[in-house]
Structure 1
Amino acid sequence: MTFQELQPKVSEIISDAQLSRDEKLQGICQLLNENIAHYNWVGFYFANHEDKTLHLGPYVGAPTDHTVIPFGKGICGQVAESNANFVVPDVAAQDNYIACSFTVKSEIVVPLFVNGINIGQIDIDSHVLDPFTAEDERFLEFVNSEIATLY
Structure 2
Amino acid sequence: MFMGIEYSKDLTESYQQVADQLHLLLEGEKNRIANLSNASALLSNFLDRTNWTGFYLLEDDELVLGPFQGLPACIRIPMGRGVCGTAAKKRETLVVDDVNAFDGHIACDSASNSEIVIPLVKDNILIGVLDIDSPEKSRFSEEDRVGLEKFAEVLLRHL
Please confirm whether the aligned pair reaches a TM-score higher than 0.5, indicating the same fold: yes
Query: What is the percentage of aligned positions where both structures have the same residue?
Result: 35
Q: CA deviation at 1:92?
A: 1.2
**Aligned residue in 2 for 1:68:** 76
Matched, 1:86 2:94: yes
**Aligned residue in 1 for 2:124:** 116
**Cα distance in structure 1, aligned partners of 2:129 and 2:109:** 20
Q: Could you report, residue by residue, the CA deviation over 1:127-151 in whole angstroms, capped at 9, with x for unpaired residues?
A: 1110111111112211221222234
Q: Do 2:57 and 2:129's aligned partners in 1 also have CA atoms closer than 8 Å?
A: yes
Query: Matches of residues 2-151 of structure 1 in structure 2 within 5 Å?
Result: 2-17=14-29, 20-48=31-59, 51-64=60-73, 66-151=74-159
Aligned residues: 147
Q: Could you report, residue by residue, the CA deviation over 1:3-41 in whole angstroms, capped at 9, with x for unpaired residues?
A: 132121111122153x73212211111111112102321
TM-score normalised to structure 1 length: 0.90
**Aligned residue in 1 for 2:11:** none
Partner AA of 2:70 in structure 1:
G
Please report the RMSD computed on the Cα atoms of aligned residues, expressed in angstroms: 1.5
Partner AA of 1:73 in structure 2:
R
Q: Do 1:32 and 1:39's aligned partners in 2 also have CA atoms closer than 8 Å?
A: no
Q: Secondary structure at the match of 2:72?
A: coil
**Cα distance in structure 1, aligned partners of 2:150 and 2:16:** 11
Q: Could you report, residue by residue, the CA deviation over 1:72-108 in whole angstroms, capped at 9, with x for unpaired residues?
A: 1111111121111111001111121000122101000
TM-score normalised to structure 2 length: 0.86
**Cα distance in structure 2, aligned partners of 1:10 and 1:80:** 23
**Cα distance in structure 1, aligned partners of 2:109 and 2:52:** 11
Runs of 4 or more above 6 Å deviation: none
**Cα distance in structure 1, aligned partners of 2:147 and 2:57:** 19
